[in-house]
Amino acid sequence: MKKTVLVSGGAGFIGSHVTVELIEAGYDVVVADNFSNCDRTGYEGVKKITGRDDLPLEIVDFCDMAQVKALFAKYPIDAVIHFAAYKAVGESVAKPVMYYKNNLMSFLNVLEAAQDKGGCNVLFSSSATVYGEPEAVPVTEKTPRQPATSPYGNTKTMCEDILRDTVKASGGAVKGILLRYFNPIGAHPSALIGELPRGVPNNLVPYITQTAIGKRECLSIFGNDYPTPDGTCLRDYIDIVDLAKAHVFAVTRMMDGKMKENCEVFNIGTGRPLSVLELVTAFEKVNNLKLNYRFAPRRAGDVTAIWADPTLANTEMGWKATRSIEETLKAAWAWEKHLAGK
């Protein structure tokens, strides 16, 4: 009997890539989104990639409990992967109430529905941002979380705690896995889905590809005076398809009863630190182009260096990042060219 996975925020960048991998792994998927932060490109692309023209799509505002209840009554949901949240760090600083209201209420409603149906597997989309500026790198799952540097980051920390408490109170009827992503980048090799930021991109790679295609004048590298080998910040850039596959491993772990605790946390990263300048140089080399960039002052709130120790996910789930940065940056560029109709 096929298992059904609800993907909240399933039309977004990560949600759409996860939906592809779940379908290809044999799961039935229900995509639920309110399209507040994306258009239908992702959902349409998933249907093209998987050939599933009948892929269920539900327009749901997860802050509306009546809509969430109706969704859980309509489908035999065996697991929920919760992406539905606002995610712009800077915007969250300017609009904290909007972020806390949306990101907490949407998750609380999902958990209440999971409880009401007598239990469910819940996978929460967390972030390395919970580690703040880590005392030591690479970070393991035991590295202490730091006070968040933004309301966005704080909602991730709070949702982690809310899930843990809900799992504990449920006596295991609700099981939880927290996946802490490092920096998701790239696009599906088909170039039919990828990152589609609204307005000016906050994140590095979409800004790079938009500069390369001519949508942006010049990439500003925020700071080259950090205490790192080339002065620019170090991050763990993980290919979006590698990241998406980690969700299949995690959901399968829950469904197959392989969990060792009722709530588990995994770092989903490559374990390979890369500087901003190294990434820019790799992008130019693999795509055989010259990028227009300049060094600019540091960006407030940026962490100097963070990358994962992914050993736990590798050994416990059998998941490992396999794509090279060159492959990822090629796919990112192919996606940008697809968007430009090239």
Residue nearest to ligand WQD (CB): 233
Active site residue 152: yes
- CB under 8 A, 24+ apart: contacts of 278-281: 278/230, 278/232, 279/204, 279/205, 279/208, 279/237, 279/325, 279/329, 280/208, 280/219, 280/221
Say whether residue 228 binds ligand WQD (CB under 6 A): no
Say whether residue 67 binds ligand WQD (CB under 6 A): no
Nearer to ligand WQD, 278 or 302 (CB): 302
Min dist CB 232 to ligand WQD, Å, is 7
Nearest 5°: phi and psi at 151? -60, -35
Stretch that binds ligand WQD, among 159-167, 188-196, 219-227, 333-341 (CB under 6 A): 219-227
Min dist CB 226 to ligand WQD, Å, is 8
Contact characters 87-126, ligand WQD, x per CB under 6 A: x-x-------------------------------------
DSSP secondary structure letters along 107-132:
HHHHHHHHHHTT-EEEEEEEEGGGG-
* Catalytic residue of the set 43, 86, 99, 152: 152
Q: Which residues lie closer than 8 Å to 97 by C-beta, 6 or more apart?
A: none
Stretch that binds ligand WQD, among 133-141, 220-228, 245-253, 328-336 (CB under 6 A): 220-228
Nearest Cα to Cα of residue 249 among 81, 117, 108: 81
DSSP secondary structure letters along 290-312:
---EEEEPPPTT--SB--B--HH
Min dist CB 222 to ligand WQD, Å, is 4
Residue from 16, 92, 103, 127 binding ligand WQD (CB under 6 A): 127
Nearest Cα to Cα of residue 10 among 193, 156, 190, 253: 193
Q: Which residues bind ligand WQD (CB under 6 A)?
A: 87, 89, 127, 129, 183, 202-204, 207, 219-222, 233, 235, 276, 299, 302
